[in-house]
């Protein structure tokens, strides 16, 4: 259990989120200090409070994309 490892994992996850957003040409989310999924306050520059919210958000977006036209 290491905070440093957790933070490194979080950093990598954020980088992947950005890379995926670019790859899919989806509009870049703006970091407004709150989680885009659950509206919890997050660290400056972060889009989500944790990787679960990020994954859930992306799953939701994909579901919308699949359901929508």
Binding site for Zn ion (CB under 5 A): 35, 37-38, 40, 49, 53
**Given the complex with Zn ion, which of 17 and 49 has the nearer CB atom?**
49
Rounded to a whole number of angstroms, the minimum distance from the CB of residue 33 to Zn ion is: 12
12 sits in the region (left: phi over 0; alpha: psi -120 to 50; else beta) called: alpha
**Given the complex with Zn ion, which of 17 and 69 has the nearer CB atom?**
17
User: Do residues 45 and 31 lie in contact, with contact meaning Cβ atoms separated by under 8 Å?
Assistant: yes
Rounded to a whole number of angstroms, the minimum distance from the CB of residue 40 to Zn ion is: 5
d(CA 64, CA 69) in angstroms, rounded, equals 9
Rounded to a whole number of angstroms, the minimum distance from the CB of residue 36 to Zn ion is: 8
């Amino acid at each position: 259990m290491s905070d440093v490892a957790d933070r490194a994992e979080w950093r990598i996850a954020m980088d992947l989120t950005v890379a995926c957003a670019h790859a899919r040409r989806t509009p870049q989310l703006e970091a407004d200090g709150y989680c885009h999924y659950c509206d919890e306050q997050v660290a400056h520059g972060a889009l989500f409070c944790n990787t679960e919210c990020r994954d859930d958000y992306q799953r939701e977006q994909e579901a919308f994309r699949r359901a929508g036209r």
